[in-house]
Structure formats: structure tokens, C-alpha cells
């Protein structure tokens, strides 16, 4: 049993430790997102770093090479994409503003297409008159609400662009030192976790598998479908291709429909504004290229790793965007993966059967 003096010492230590942890969090809180994404990228590319390290004996040089690989294959392409996305949002700003102030103008523009006007007239004759125009008002109100939300997101995004590139520089430094000294940090964290040895091994193993499965099997699949969509949009000359690509990335996480929720409306738009042939060709491209990316990448990337339902990831990414901004795209899947790993440990620890 502990003496009163030892009990007081334990209380003092715990309170002091928690206090300094809180102060440390306050100090590092502005960089939590950047540090988390840096750790995530290092974890994913660590097998490649180990191969480089086995051939390049210098820790500094091998860490520098691994950092440059991430820089040129991930961070620079992402930065270029963000630059063009911002440019398109700026270009879209006055158009969205005019449609928000006068939603009827969008409807009139669509009606300039003979195909759409014919469909609209039939629809109006059959339904709109019977509903006394309420459906038309509802459609315009919905359009106004959706445009306003997109517009608010664009403004928030533009405000964070400068911080994004500053954060990118900080992230490069983080990645280098995580490659160089990450193993020491890993051993420190591993040693202080108050679990049995077998439970710590199980937790870290499943955490790693979950992160690999989520990032490679879901996020990278969404990136692949977004890239395929961007190529198709550029080939067929669709305006605001980067914005549509970003929407495709988000839609790829929806189990029912996925990326087709974006490229099918684009095919309809091409049918209404260009020609039936162009719309058909884009529809075939979406069916046999964009939608098949999932079937090709996911089995190769995930294999036997743990997989998480894409609907959970979809809502997690939306919440991550709201909580962490652009970095939430990467932070949210990591959190979901860790939650999944702790659930598996909980089931193992208390012998809960599936």
C-alpha cells in the first residue's frame, strides 16, 4: 500500500503531467493538422524509405531522398491542383453571385438549349401548372441554397490559400525529421502506452493496416477517379474542370453512385449544350474508365488489409473539411482508421465475438 506521502506525490505528478500536456497542446495546436498529415505520409511511404535506407547508409541523405519523393510525387502536384482550383473558384465567383441574386437567369440560360427547353415545356405543361408553380419555386430555392453554400465554401477556401502554402513548407520540414528521427519517436510512444505487450503489438499492427487500407484503398481510389475525370473533362472541353474534379473526389466515397453522381450530370450537360455524340462518348468514358478505376486500384492497394465502409469515410471527410479545412481530407480518414483499430482491440481485450 502507498503511504500518504506517496499518494500525495502520485497526485502531484499526475496533475502536473496533465497540466503540462495541456499547455503543450495549446502551444502545438496551430500545427496539429500539419503534423498529423506529415505523420500519415511518412507512415505510408516508410516501406519505401526503409529500402532507400538499406542502400544509402546516411540517415540524413536517405531521409532527404524520401522527403523529395513525397515532395515531387505528392506535395507539388497537390499544390498545382490547389492553385488551379483556386483560379477556377475565382472565375466562378461572379457567375455564382449573379445566379444567387437572380436564380431565374440560370433557368433561362438552360432553356436556351432546344433539348432542355422542349423537356422543360413538357414538364411544365404536365406538372408545373397543376402544382401552381410551387415546384418551380422549390427548385429555385434549392438552387439558391446550394449555390450559397458553395459560394461560402469558396470564400473560406480562398482565405486559406496563403496558409496552405506556408503549411506546405512546414510539412516538408516535418516529413524530413520524421524520416530521420521517427523511429525514436515511435519507440518512445510505444514504451509509454500502458498496455500488455501483445495488446500493443495488436494495436499498432491493426492501426497500421487500417491506415494503409483507408489511404490506399479509399483515398487513393478517389484520387485515381478524380484524375481520370479531369482527363476526360479536358478532352471534352468542359468548363470548370478542376471544381468538377474536386466534387468527383468527394463523390467517390459515396457507396451508391460514387463518381457517377458527378460524371453522369456532366454527360447530360454535354447532351444539352453540345451534341448527342459528344455526350455519348463522355458517358462511355465515364462507364468504362472512371467507374472501373475503383475495380482496378482497390484490390491491388488493399489486398487483405482492413477495409472501412466508404459511407463512413464520406461523412468523415466532410466533417474533416469543416473542422480542419483542406487538411481534413487526410486527417479524417486517419482518425477513422485509428478508431477502427481501437474497436478491434476492444473486441480482442474483452473477448467480444463478431
Buried b (16+ CB within 10 A) or exposed e, 245-263: bbbbbbbbbbeeebbbebb
Q: pLDDT band at 243, cuts 50/70/90?
A: confident
- Mean per-residue pLDDT for 227-240? 91
Ranges of each domain in the chain:
29-185, 193-354
What is the rounded distance in angstroms from the CA atom of residue 301 to the CA atom of residue 220? 9
3-state secondary structure of 45: helix
What is the rounded distance in angstroms from the CA atom of residue 176 to the CA atom of residue 61? 10
What is the rounded distance in angstroms from the CA atom of residue 227 to the CA atom of residue 203? 34
Give the model's pLDDT for residue 284: 93
- Asked whether 218 and 332 are in contact (CB, 8 A), the reply is no
Q: Which of 104, 110, 92 is nearest to 144 (CA)?
A: 104
pLDDT digits (tens, 9 = 90+) for 10-22: 888 889 989 999 9
Give the model's pLDDT for residue 249: 87
What is the rounded distance in angstroms from the CA atom of residue 38 to the CA atom of residue 176? 9
Give the model's pLDDT for residue 203: 83
Residue 213 burial (CB < 10 Å; 0-12/13-18/19+)? Answer: buried
Chain centroid to CA 190: 28
Poorest-pLDDT segment among 142-146, 220-224, 297-301: 142-146
How far the first Cα of the chain sits from its last, in Å, is 40
- Mean per-residue pLDDT for 47-72? 90
What is the rounded distance in angstroms from the CA atom of residue 247 to the CA atom of residue 91? 17
Give the model's pLDDT for residue 1: 54
Q: What is the mean pLDDT of the chain?
A: 79
> Phi and psi at residue 51, in whole multiples of 5°?
-65, -40
pLDDT digits (tens, 9 = 90+) for 28-46: 888 887 888 888 888 888 8
Give the model's pLDDT for residue 61: 93
Buried b (16+ CB within 10 A) or exposed e, 46-85: beebeebbeeeeeeeebbbbbbeebbeeebeeeeebbeeb
- Mean per-residue pLDDT for 74-87? 80
110 versus 65: the higher-pLDDT residue is 65
Nearest-5° Cα angle at 172, 315 to 212 = 40
3-state secondary structure of 35: helix
pLDDT digits (tens, 9 = 90+) for 127-172: 555 544 555 566 566 656 666 666 666 666 666 667 777 888 888 9
266 versus 276: the higher-pLDDT residue is 266
- Enter the C-alpha cell of residue 5: 506521502
Give the model's pLDDT for residue 182: 86
Amino acid at each position: 500500500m502507498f503511504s500518504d506521502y506517496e499518494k500525495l506525490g502520485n497526485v502531484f505528478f499526475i496533475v502536473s503531467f496533465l497540466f503540462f500536456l495541456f499547455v503543450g497542446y495549446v502551444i502545438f495546436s496551430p500545427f496539429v493538422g500539419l503534423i498529423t498529415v506529415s505523420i500519415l505520409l511518412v507512415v505510408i511511404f516508410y516501406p519505401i524509405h526503409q529500402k532507400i535506407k538499406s542502400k544509402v547508409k546516411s540517415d540524413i541523405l536517405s531521409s532527404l531522398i524520401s522527403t523529395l519523393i513525397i515532395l515531387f510525387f505528392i506535395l507539388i502536384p497537390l499544390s498545382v491542383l490547389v492553385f488551379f482550383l483556386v483560379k477556377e473558384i475565382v472565375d466562378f465567383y461572379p457567375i455564382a453571385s449573379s445566379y444567387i441574386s437572380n436564380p431565374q437567369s440560370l433557368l433561362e440560360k438552360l432553356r436556351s438549349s432546344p433539348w432542355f427547353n422542349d423537356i422543360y415545356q413538357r414538364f411544365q405543361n404536365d406538372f408545373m401548372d397543376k402544382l401552381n408553380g410551387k415546384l418551380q419555386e422549390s427548385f429555385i430555392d434549392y438552387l439558391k441554397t446550394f449555390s450559397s453554400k458553395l459560394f461560402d465554401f469558396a470564400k473560406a477556401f480562398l482565405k486559406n490559400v496563403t496558409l496552405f502554402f506556408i503549411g506546405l513548407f512546414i510539412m516538408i520540414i516535418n516529413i524530413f525529421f520524421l524520416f530521420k528521427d521517427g523511429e525514436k519517436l515511435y519507440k518512445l510512444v510505444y514504451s509509454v502506452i500502458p498496455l500488455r505487450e501483445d495488446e500493443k503489438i495488436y494495436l499498432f499492427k491493426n492501426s497500421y493496416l487500417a491506415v494503409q487500407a483507408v489511404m490506399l484503398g479509399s483515398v487513393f481510389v478517389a484520387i485515381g477517379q478524380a484524375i481520370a475525370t479531369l482527363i476526360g473533362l479536358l478532352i471534352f472541353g468542359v468548363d470548370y474542370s478542376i471544381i468538377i474534379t474536386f466534387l468527383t473526389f468527394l463523390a467517390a466515397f459515396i457507396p451508391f453512385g460514387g463518381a457517377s453522381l458527378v460524371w453522369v450530370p456532366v454527360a447530360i450537360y454535354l447532351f444539352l449544350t453540345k451534341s448527342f455524340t459528344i455526350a455519348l462518348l463522355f458517358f462511355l468514358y465515364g462507364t468504362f474508365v472512371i467507374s472501373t478505376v475503383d475495380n482496378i486500384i482497390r484490390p491491388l492497394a488493399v489486398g487483405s488489409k482492413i477495409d472501412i465502409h466508404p459511407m463512413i469515410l464520406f461523412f468523415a471527410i466532410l466533417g474533416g473539411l469543416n473542422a480542419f479545412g483542406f487538411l481534413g481530407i487526410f486527417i479524417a480518414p486517419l482518425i477513422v482508421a485509428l478508431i477502427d483499430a481501437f474497436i478491434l482491440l476492444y473486441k480482442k481485450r474483452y473477448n467480444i465475438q463478431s
